[in-house]
Amino acid sequence: MEINLVSDTVTKPGHEMLQHMFRAKVGDDVYKHDPTVNELEETVANLFGMEAALFFPSGTMANQAAIKLHTQPGDELICDKWAHVYNYEGGGIAFNSGVSAKLIDGIRGMVTAKQVQDAINPPDFYHSPLTTLVCVENTTNKGGGACYSLQTLKEIKEVCTSNNLKYHLDGARLWNALVAKKQHPKQFGELFNTISVCLSKGLGAPVGSVLAGSKADINRALRIRKVLGGGMRQAGYLAAAGLYALKNNVGRLDEDHRRAKQLGEVLQQMPWIDVVEPVETNILIFSLRPQYNEQAFIELLKRRNIFISGLGKGKLRIVTHLDYKEVMHQYVLETLTKINI
């Protein structure tokens, strides 16, 4: 029994999801003739109370399209120093949009309105890049699945409005935040110009993200997606998995959160643990005491068929997900309590 806790992207479609995919009605989505893709886009737009949405093959492409939507070459965006758009999208901010990034030293990947305000370049000072966009991430990946408060997001929105900045949410794991904080998607749709959400992380679909926004922005995003090579043909087979996931796999995210918290509680009791970061959702980040080698620890778990990931600088990560069942969870808990490093 292999237990893969490297990421929530490792899940595979279950029997019911596959059946839903097999039965999908499809067409050519490049011509917008795929009824299942159209249904998925309309469903996500309605969920967030936004005018339109567009299906993308990846969250990175959805984020990069949003950045290109809201900026011009030579502009600057503001984001946290750990932001996915900056650290894990291949330098796409610069490559795709010719934009630089002003990095904020936030807490667990989250920034404040004051930090955003202080990071804005004076618009009449032509020696510095023109600040045009703020990107926030919820939940935060490198922040260990931390969730923004709605109040903080509203305060940042006020800064964006008063400074004529666009506001994009990288909501790859927004579903986790919605469940953990008992929030409603429309509360986010009211705040942001664009929101990207992933279907292939916590929700268990094999592929896909969706970008939601105004009709005008999504019409422009359609052209950007084409330029980036994201136009797909009979994509309804993939969209069907997303629709199934939205209907069946959102509510159960509480299980992932519960298991991550239990793992954190057990780790805190181990003598070889240095720090276990707060656990809010399905991501658990921890570090070993300095005398222990994290790579050796990863290999030790591998020999027990448990796979986790290293984040560098001594940090280790566990991510719970749809395919991490209770029997696996009990085995991991028992292993952690008995392991001798």
CB distance 215 to 82 below 8 Å: no
312 pLDDT band (50/70/90 cuts)?
confident
CB distance 9 to 198 below 8 Å: no
State pLDDT tens for residues 256-270: 999 999 999 999 999
Query: Which residues of the chain are in CATH 3.90.1150.10 domains?
Result: 3-8+252-338
State pLDDT tens for residues 213-243: 999 999 999 999 999 999 999 999 999 999 9
What CATH architecture applies to the domain 15-248? 3-Layer(aba) Sandwich (3.40)
Query: Which residues of the chain are in CATH 3.40.640.10 domains?
Result: 15-248
CA distance 101 to 78: 6
What CATH architecture applies to the domain 3-8+252-338? Alpha-Beta Complex (3.90)
CA distance 41 to 31: 15
Q: How would DSSP label each residue in 170-230?
A: EETTHHHHHHHTT--HHHHHTT-SEEEEESSSTT--SS-EEEEE-HHHHHHHHHHHHHTT-
CB distance 324 to 3 below 8 Å: yes
Given a cut of 90, is residue 195 above it in pLDDT? yes
Closest of 94, 187, 68 to residue 138, by C-alpha: 187
State pLDDT tens for residues 70-122: 999 999 999 999 999 999 999 999 999 999 999 999 999 999 999 999 999 99
